[in-house]
């Protein structure tokens, strides 16, 4: 279970009263237990939250770098959920947590963001609004509200493997009309060479989902992409953090994403693809800094 991170100063009395009333009116015992009739979150353009969006923050001894934008972000990993113990309490963005709303917590996406979450096991897909920070457990990429986890059939087991895709709220109708990543194929993010295009990694480190495949990476020169940012300053901050610990060359490479927007990619290497031990160690070191597995890229 995650702990809520608070990025705010002393609350005003009116805000405290508002949060108290919201918590009282959202008593879980007064809600129906069925998720029928609770719609997915509807993406819309919103200003960045006043709270919860520092350039970086520390939790449990790790530093996390908040993305400038969610545009193009995709990752695969384990999802968890949080419920009654946090119901009515303040989230990192300042919203009161409601376990019956389609919301989620993420370590580095800007608040708020909208993402589509797909259960890899059963193919079920939902859209949630990210308004909180977490989960701070190794290997977990998103913390869902109770009702969101219920819709994905994750409540009983507590966790489950998912694909997380950021939604551009300015183009939400087209994005939502598209089908989610075909998880039935089981290969979209598996192995050392993800089958999506590199232009999808526009704002942060993206999960490579599994240790590099020894057959596909042999005899190749590889780079580990630790992150991609819209501003050079954000990229340099991550690059400097990596240079202090990684023991490998770290470069910030300027380019364009698929929308012809300026992009700064933070890349580690080159690394000999046939040296599986060195590659795995480098992946672990990058993950320790970014809290997400790096994308493996061919040179």
- The CATH number of whichever domain residue 105 belongs to comes to 2.40.40.10
The model's pTM is 0.56
Q: Would 259 be classed as within a structural domain?
A: yes
What is the domain range of residue 206?
A: 198-298
One domain for residues 171 and 240: no
Q: What is the pLDDT of residue 176?
A: 61
**pLDDT number for residue 219:** 54
Domain boundary (151, 180, 209) is at: 180
Task: Provide the pLDDT for residue 257.
Answer: 62
46 vs 169: CA distance, rounded Å = 9
Same domain, 158 and 70: yes
How high is the pLDDT of residue 259?
57
- pLDDT at position 178, please? 52
Whole-number percent of the chain with pLDDT over 70: 70
Q: Are residues 93 and 164 in the same domain?
A: yes
Please list the ranges in the chain whose pLDDT falls under 50: 1-34, 179-218
Whether 229 contacts 263, CB under 8 Å: yes
Residue 58: the pLDDT is: 92
Q: Domain total for the chain?
A: 2
Task: Give the model's pLDDT for residue 234.
Answer: 83
Residues 70 and 171 in one domain: yes
- According to the model, what pLDDT value does residue 181 have? 41
pLDDT of residue 216: 44
């Amino acid at each position: 279970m995650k702990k809520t991170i608070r990025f705010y100063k002393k609350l005003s009395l009116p805000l405290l009263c508002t949060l108290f009333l919201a918590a009282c009116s959202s008593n879980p015992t007064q809600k129906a237990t069925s998720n029928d009739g609770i719609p997915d979150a509807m993406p819309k353009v919103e200003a960045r939250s006043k709270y919860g969006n520092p350039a970086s923050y520390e939790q449990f001894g790790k530093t996390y770098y908040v993305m400038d934008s969610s545009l193009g972000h995709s990752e695969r990993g384990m999802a968890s959920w949080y419920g009654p113990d946090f119901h009515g309490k303040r989230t990192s963005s300042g919203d009161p947590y409601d376990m019956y709303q389609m919301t989620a917590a993420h370590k580095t996406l800007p608040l708020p963001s909208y993402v589509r979450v797909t259960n890899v096991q059963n193919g079920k897909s939902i859209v949630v609004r990210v308004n909180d920070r977490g989960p701070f457990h190794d290997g977990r990429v998103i913390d869902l509200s109770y009702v969101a986890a219920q819709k994905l059939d994750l409540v009983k087991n507590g966790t489950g493997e998912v694909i997380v895709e950021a939604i551009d709220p300015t183009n939400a109708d087209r994005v939502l009309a598209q089908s989610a990543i075909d998880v039935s194929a089981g290969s979209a993010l598996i192995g050392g060479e993800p089958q999506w295009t590199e232009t999808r990694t526009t704002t942060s480190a993206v999960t490579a989902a599994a240790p590099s495949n020894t057959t596909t990476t042999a005899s190749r020169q590889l780079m580990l992409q630790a992150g991609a940012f819209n501003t050079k300053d954000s990229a340099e901050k991550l690059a400097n953090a990596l240079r202090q610990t990684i023991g490998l060359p770290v470069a910030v490479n300027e380019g364009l994403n698929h929308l012809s927007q300026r992009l700064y990619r933070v890349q580690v290497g080159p690394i000999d693809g046939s040296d599986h031990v060195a590659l795995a160690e480098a992946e672990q070191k990058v993950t320790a800094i970014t809290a997400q597995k790096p994308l493996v890229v061919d040179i």
